[in-house]
Amino acid sequence: MKKSVVLIFLFILTFVACKHLPSLTPHGPNDPPVGGAPCNADTVYFQNDILPIFQSSCAKSGCHNAASHREGIILTDYNNIISTGEIRGGDPSHGNIYSTITSSSSSDIMPPPPDAPLTADQIAKILKWIEQGALNNYCDGGCDTVDVKYSLQVKTLLANKCIGCHNTASTGGGISLDNYSGASSVAIDGRLIGSVSHATGYIQMPQGGSKLSACEIKIFQLWLDAGAPNN
């Protein structure tokens, strides 16, 4: 009798203790993003650095967005990316995503031709993010609107969030944003601000992605207010 009481007690204790143990997979596909501290230069952040690459280069219409889901693969957000089972934190050799973006074979590489492959910088970021655990993290990027220049803030923002769909090979809506003349012409005709601020009458950009932050929109606005110079 006494023994069984002890056993029951132990059982309850184990159950209670287990419930308070941290989850073994700290970032399951459905867990919300963690972070908010100022960005650390040695860390790659999923929400800031990695998701824009997937959204502009992979989750396009006809490829890996929810409607097209080529080969069943949807790459629109953390949940879908991790749920493919093709990425495992700490192990870049696991799964097909890292191997296809770095493939040397034109029939295997993603994004496939005529789209340009990811840049060396984008690939390096994805590698580091996987090595650092493939977490759903974000940081406060301290978006810099002081002395806005095309060659600095504007070009970086376009590179991070737009040129996967708007480059010379793959021109969404006939617009290429990987060069000054393409970017300045849509700035000056009003479509750049109209589309990123989701103004009525414009197609909302980035297509299929989350709306730019107020500070990011301000970067484009300040550049336009200055006459969209090539500075």
Task: Give which of 29, 25, 27 is closest to 80, Cα–Cα.
Answer: 29
Least distance in angstroms from the C-beta of 16 to ligand HEC? 48
Q: Report d(CA 155, CA 174) in Å as an integer.
A: 19
91-130 positions binding ligand HEC, by CB under 6 A? none
Question: Does residue 55 belong to the site contacting ligand HEC (CB under 6 A)?
Answer: yes
182-201 positions binding ligand HEC, by CB under 6 A? 186, 191-192, 194-196
Characterize 26-61 residue by residue with b for buried, 16 or more Cβ atoms within 10 angstroms of its Cβ, and e for exposed: ebeeeeebebeeebeeebbbbbbbbbbbbbbbbbbe
Task: Give which of 67, 106, 81 is closest to 28, Cα–Cα.
Answer: 81
Question: Does residue 50 belong to the site contacting ligand HEC (CB under 6 A)?
Answer: no
Question: Does residue 60 belong to the site contacting ligand HEC (CB under 6 A)?
Answer: yes
Least distance in angstroms from the C-beta of 98 to ligand HEC? 21
Q: Are 97 and 84 in contact (CB under 8 A)?
A: yes
Question: Does residue 203 belong to the site contacting ligand HEC (CB under 6 A)?
Answer: yes
Cβ proximity to ligand HEC: between 34 and 143 the closer is: 143
Question: Does residue 148 belong to the site contacting ligand HEC (CB under 6 A)?
Answer: no
Which among 69-77, 90-98, 134-142, 207-215 is the span making contact with ligand HEC, rule CB under 6 A? 207-215
| Residue located via tokens 């295997």 | 108
User: One-letter amino acid identity for 219?
Assistant: I
| Residue located via tokens 């080529």 | 70
Q: Report d(CA 32, CA 97) in Å as an integer.
A: 22
Question: Does residue 63 belong to the site contacting ligand HEC (CB under 6 A)?
Answer: no
Question: Does residue 208 belong to the site contacting ligand HEC (CB under 6 A)?
Answer: yes
Residues that bind ligand HEC (CB under 6 A): 55-56, 60, 161-162, 164-166, 172-173, 175, 186, 191-192, 194-196, 202-203, 205-209, 212
